[in-house]
């Protein structure tokens, strides 16, 4: 761990951001909500979280408040990012049943991939080196295809890829922030500290 606490910004325009904030605060991170351009400009962040919610709504709001291009640039320049569910859709370069948003993550993702009504379930699975990670799927997507050999697959559940990492970008189709298990966030912190 570095001497000073890490500073992480959590995109707080829509969706499940409070839960990420709570998990990160409990891990000793300085956390700030990002809602407008000044939130990005006033401090230096070590990492960003893109929460779950509704990807189209989030993308429209990002454009409305003028954050879309700034966040895209930060990610392209190497800012560590943890993206869950709708956040993973925002990152993906190809979106089945939806439009491309940031497009910084070389994967194809399928929205609402488990069906709209029955697409929510809880299970446990592997995440990188961790086993038995509780995973909460809420109208979740999954990754249909990895489009670059440098994309690491971190989780496979029911034969579908549900978590990946490409350089500074960690993305998953489930919600790790609502399960009471903080190992996914610890992994994010360890990647920031690398």
The sign of the CA dihedral 31, 173, 175, 193 is negative
Q: Does the footprint of ligand GLN cover residue 12 (CB under 6 A)?
A: no
Residues 82-121 that bind ligand GLN (CB under 6 A): 85-86, 89, 111-112
Q: Does the footprint of ligand GLN cover residue 33 (CB under 6 A)?
A: no
Cβ 162 vs Cβ 121: under 8 Å: no
* φ, ψ dihedrals at 32, nearest 5°: -130, 140
From the candidates 20, 101, 175, 185, give the one annotated as an active-site residue.
175
State the binding string over 119-158 for ligand GLN (x if CB under 6 A, else -). -------------------xx-------------------
Q: What is the largest CA-CA distance in the chain?
A: 46
Q: Which two tokens stand for residue 58?
A: 């989030």
Residues 161-190 that bind ligand GLN (CB under 6 A): none
Q: Which has the closest alpha carbon to 123: 155, 151, 91?
A: 155
Q: Does the footprint of ligand GLN cover residue 14 (CB under 6 A)?
A: no
Instruction: Indicate if 99 belongs to the active site.
Output: no
Q: 155: exposed, middle or buried (C-beta count within 10 Å: 0-12, 13-18, 19+)?
A: buried
Q: Least distance in Å: CB of 54 to ligand GLN?
A: 5
Which positions are annotated as active-site residues?
85, 175, 177
Site residues (vs ligand GLN, CB under 6 A): 52-55, 85-86, 89, 111-112, 138-139
């Amino acid at each position: 761990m570095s001497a000073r606490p890490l500073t992480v910004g959590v995109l707080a325009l829509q969706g499940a951001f409070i839960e990420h904030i709570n998990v990160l605060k409990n891990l000793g991170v300085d956390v700030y909500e990002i809602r407008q351009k000044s939130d990005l400009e006033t401090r230096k962040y070590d990492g960003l979280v893109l929460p779950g919610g509704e990807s189209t709504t989030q993308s429209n709001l990002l454009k409305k408040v003028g954050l879309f291009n700034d966040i895209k640039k930060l990610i392209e320049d190497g800012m560590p990012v943890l993206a869950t569910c709708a956040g993973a859709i925002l990152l993906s370069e190809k979106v089945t049943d939806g439009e491309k948003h940031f497009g910084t993550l070389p994967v194809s993702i399928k929205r609402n991939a488990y069906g709209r009504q029955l697409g929510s379930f809880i299970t446990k699975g592997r995440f990188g080196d961790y086993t038995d990670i509780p995973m909460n799927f809420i109208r979740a997507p999954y990754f249909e295809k990895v489009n670059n050999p440098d994309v690491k697959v971190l989780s496979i559940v029911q034969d579908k890829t549900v978590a990946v990492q490409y350089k500074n970008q960690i993305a998953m189709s489930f919600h790790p922030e609502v399960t009471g298990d903080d190992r996914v966030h610890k992994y994010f912190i360890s990647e920031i500290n690398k």
